[in-house]
């Protein structure tokens, strides 16, 4: 899987994605908490994508990619590498179309997520935990099967699918002033930015990134994509380097990315578990951590927070 | 607090309670899980009272009791003893009417729950963890303040309030064949039995009880109330001895109580966390544990499960 540089989707592609995935994806609820509003000084609207099929927003992008294929393409199946939610989502999405999903899984991935990928019906291909090994294995599967590559974030169809979460949230909570998403590879952040500004150009857009994988923060600050970072964060869903097009979307849409420590994220995760009674994974909590770190930027505003996933290994909680 | 023997509410009192609490209580959602349906062989409808105000169904009963008082009675406040959710619920309910709530809390109660009671604005009165100490302290508060006693389960107003959860669930899922609730003091089980059979006399009613506090199972088997049990269970919400009237309701409505081990309950709790992504407390998981222990009694049926609470000490999980 050499790094693709797919173009960004436009709002029509995101609307088409919303229609394409509607028969398969869930409309997830928006939750509120008086206690968390009081703590943050803002009005918080939690968009509960941990209640999406497969327990993460990733189903939106994967489902759009799978159903955007022609019948001839689809017959060969799909392939990706993923240590987590994207692999699971692609397996579930492939099952909705009755096609094969090949998932390249690096050693050392979170056990609960690998088990979920297997349960979802994927054909697993294990490889060493290096980028080179992942790409080699992906290429091998493509050669052997003709499967279509669905990259986790640098894929126009995937970005368009992830953007549907913003369309849905802005229908549920049209009065929002701001939106914040976690930033990993940037598929969600870029899709959401495009969809959100097409719906309401005045929305303030934010991202949240772990300090130990803050390539987006650094890239935006330096004006060029920083690629030499070795991720060091518990947020296993946010270790990817931001994609080229995804970074471009953050720039164009003036997404302000806030970095947070893992300790801040774990504290925010416990708040979400305690106050909202929702099992969310650590990466999801970066958005609340960012608001609590810089409350002055959100004070008195209506803020939508995309809660990205809930696939947690209950035997290995981070506290 | 000598043990009261309040009469059971009738359906009109439960309907009145529903109207009384409507301005204050939440209509909680019903959740489904394809994975848990497959595992159990039944259609499961989880009534999410952990998303009720205060994180437990107890708000319903407490709120009904508080708002059933005359203004003259209410002026003196309310008092109860509770190591957990009822104390918190009474404090929150009293706050909705702007009156004082006194809560007698035995030493050794779950820290997270005591903190919640305090945050909810109650005046705490600590006592030794014996029934005698609780009753003495309660009586003292009553003498000193004139506060109205609101017993956690042996109180007609409380039972009526808890019964509203069944009215609500049967509006949301009218096709249910069966209902199951945890059984502790029996306020929920008795209120639900009365409301459920008034709505649909054909409903099969079940209870779930920890083996280490199975006084309801033993009492129903022997035909008399067994009172010599020393509770030994992690289910801190289900250690109370079943009330006299509450046991009578279980008999009259032929509620079949199934006992489960703590190990079964913990396994069920993890399933709810993993599959529904909901933070529920251990007592709440007894209902799923009971279904998984005796699946033949539920096979192919549409079963409503009352998930009673979500107030968990994240620093002291039971696995």
d(CA A287, CA B258): 43
Tokens (6 digits) for A182: 């976690």
Is the minimum CB–CB distance between A267 and chain B shorter than 8 Å?
Answer: no
Angle between helices B156-172 and B187-199 (to 10 degrees): 50
Whether B270 contacts chain A with CB within 8 A: yes
- Residue B261 CA to residue B83 CA, distance in Å, equals 22
Could you tell me which of B238, B243, B218, B268 has the C-alpha nearest to residue B151? B243
Q: Got the DSSP string for chain B? A: -PPP-PPPP-HHHHHHHHHHHTTTS----EE--HHHHHHHTSEEEEEEGGGSGGGBTHHHHHHHHHHHS-HHHHTT-EEEE-SSHHHHHHHHHHHHHT--EEEEEETT--HHHHHHHHHTT-EEEEE-SSHHHHHHHHHHHHHHH-PEE--SSS-HHHHHHHHHHHHHHHHH-TT-SEEEEE-SSSHHHHHHHHHHHHH-TT-EEEEEEEGGG-HHHHHHHHTS---------S-GGG-SPPPHHHHHHHHHTT-EEEEE-HHHHHHHHHHIIIII-B---GGGGHHHHHHHHSGGGTTT-EEEEEE-B----TTS---
Residue B113 has pLDDT above 90, yes or no: no
**In the Cβ-directed half-sphere of B211, how many Cα atoms lie within 13 Å?**
9
Q: Is B312 an interface residue toward A (CB < 8 Å)?
A: yes
Mean pLDDT of B95-103: 97
CB contact B295 to A (< 8 Å)? no
Residue position matching structure tokens 């929920």: B188
Whether residues B274 and A279 touch (CB distance < 8 A) is answered with: yes
Window from A163-177, A221-235, B269-283 with minimum mean pLDDT = A221-235
Helices A11-21 and A187-199: angle between axes, nearest 10 degrees = 110
Q: What class is the B59-149 domain? A: alpha beta
Q: Is the pLDDT of residue B318 over 50?
A: yes
Arithmetic mean of pLDDT over chain A: 95
Q: Which of A55, A112, A277 sits opposite B51 (nearest CB)?
A: A277
User: Which residues in chain A are closer than 8 Å to B34, comparing Cβ atoms?
Assistant: none
Please give the average per-residue pLDDT across B100-126, as a whole number.
Answer: 90
pLDDT at A130 (0 to 100):
84
Residue written as token pair 């009971």: B290
- CA-to-CA separations, B153 to A220, B162, B179, B234, in angstroms, rounded: 59, 9, 19, 20
Contact A279 B270 (CB under 8 A): no
**Residue B20 binned pLDDT confidence (cut-offs 50, 70, 90):** very high
Nearest CA in chain B to A315: B319
% of chain B surpassing 90 pLDDT: 87
A312 touching chain B per CB within 8 A = yes
Options 1.10.3210.10, 3.40.50.11540, 3.40.50.1100, 3.40.50.300; CATH for B11-57+155-307 is 3.40.50.1100
For residues B278 and B50, the answer to whether their CB atoms sit within 8 Å is yes
Q: Are B64 and B160 in contact (CB under 8 A)?
A: yes
Cα separation, A17 vs A157, in Å, equals 8
Dihedral pair phi/psi, residue B5, rounded to 5°: -120, 75
Q: What is the band of B143 on the pLDDT scale with cuts at 50, 70, 90?
A: very high
Percent of chain B, pLDDT > 70? 99
- Per-residue confidence (pLDDT) for residue B84, from 0 to 100: 84
Say whether B273 and A314 touch across the interface (CB within 8 A).
yes
Q: What is the mean pLDDT of residues B79-105?
A: 94
Ranges of CATH 3.40.50.1100 domains, chain A: 11-57+155-307, 59-149
pLDDT number for residue B3: 67
| A104, containing H or E segment | strand A101-106
User: Under an 8 A CB cutoff, do B278 and A273 touch?
Assistant: no
**Tens-place pLDDT, residues A102-136:** 999 988 887 877 888 999 999 999 999 888 898 89
Could you report the per-residue pLDDT of A19-52, keeping only the tens digit for each? Answer: 999 999 999 999 999 999 999 999 999 999 999 9
Contacts B314 to A, Cβ<8 Å: 270, 273-274, 319
pLDDT per residue as tens digits for the range A140-198: 999 999 999 999 999 999 999 999 999 999 999 999 999 999 999 999 999 999 999 99
Model confidence band, residue A1 (pLDDT cutoffs 50, 70, 90)? very low
Whether A274 and B312 lie within 8 Å, measured CB to CB: yes
pLDDT in tens, B189-225: 999 999 999 999 999 999 999 999 999 999 999 999 9
Q: Given an 8 Å threshold on Cβ–Cβ distance, is B279 in contact with A280?
A: no
Per-window interface: B 112-171 vs A, CB < 8 A: 112
Residues from chain B that touch A317, judged by Cβ atoms under 8 A, are 317
* Residue A55 DSSP SS3: helix
Evaluate if residue B2 carries a pLDDT over 80. no
Q: Are B277 and A279 inside 8 Å of each other by CB?
A: yes
What pLDDT, on the 0 to 100 scale, is given for residue B1?
Answer: 44
**Is the pLDDT confidence value at A2 over 80?**
no
> Cβ of A279 and B280 within 8 Å?
no
Assign B54 a pLDDT band (cuts: 50, 70, 90): very high
Residue B112 clears pLDDT 90, i.e. is over it: no
Cβ pair A112:B274 closer than 8 A: yes
pLDDT at B131: 80
pTM above 0.90, yes or no: yes
Provide the chain A residues 45-84 that lie in CB contact (below 8 A) with chain B: 50-51, 55
Asked if B278 reaches chain A (Cβ–Cβ under 8 Å), the answer is yes
A296–chain B Cβ distance below 8 A for any pair: no
Interchain proximity B315–A319, CB inside 8 Å: yes
Quick: pLDDT tens for B55-66: 999 999 999 999
Backbone angles phi, psi at B96, to 5 degrees: -65, -20
Q: What length does chain A have?
A: 319
Asked if the model's pLDDT at residue A232 lies above 60, the reply is yes
Q: Which ipTM did the prediction report?
A: 0.93
């Amino acid at each position: 899987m050499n790094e693709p540089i797919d173009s960004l989707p436009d709002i029509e592609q995101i609307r088409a994605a919303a229609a394409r995935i509607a028969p398969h994806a869930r409309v997830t609820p928006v939750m509120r908490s008086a206690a968390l509003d009081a703590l943050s000084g803002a009005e918080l609207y939690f968009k509960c994508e941990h209640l999406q099929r497969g327990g993460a927003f990733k189903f939106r992008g994967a489902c759009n990619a799978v159903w955007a294929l022609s019948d001839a393409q689809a017959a060969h199946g799909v392939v990706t590498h993923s240590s987590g939610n994207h692999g699971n989502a692609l397996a579930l999405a492939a099952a909705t179309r009755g096609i094969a999903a090949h998932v390249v899984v690096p050693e050392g991935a979170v056990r609960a997520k690998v088990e979920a990928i297997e349960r979802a019906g994927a054909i697993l291909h294990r490889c060493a935990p290096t980028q080179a090994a992942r790409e080699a294995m992906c290429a091998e599967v493509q050669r052997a099967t003709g499967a279509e590559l669905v990259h986790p974030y640098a894929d126009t169809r995937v970005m368009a699918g992830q953007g549907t979460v913003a369309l849905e949230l802005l229908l549920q909570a049209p009065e929002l002033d701001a939106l914040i998403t976690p930033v990993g590879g940037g598929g969600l952040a870029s899709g959401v930015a495009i969809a959100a500004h097409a719906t309401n150009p005045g929305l303030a857009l934010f991202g949240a990134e772990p300090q130990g994988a803050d390539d987006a923060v650094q890239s935006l600050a330096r004006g060029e994509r920083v690629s030499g970072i070795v991720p060091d964060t518990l947020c296993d869903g946010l270790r990817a380097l931001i994609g080229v097009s995804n970074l471009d979307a953050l720039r164009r849409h003036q997404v302000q990315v806030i970095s947070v420590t893992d300790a801040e994220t774990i504290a925010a995760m416990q708040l979400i578990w305690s106050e909202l009674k929702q099992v969310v994974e650590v990466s999801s909590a970066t958005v609340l951590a960012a608001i609590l770190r810089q409350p002055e930027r959100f004070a008195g505003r209506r803020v939508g927070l995309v809660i990205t996933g809930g696939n947690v290994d209950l035997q290995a909680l981070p506290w």
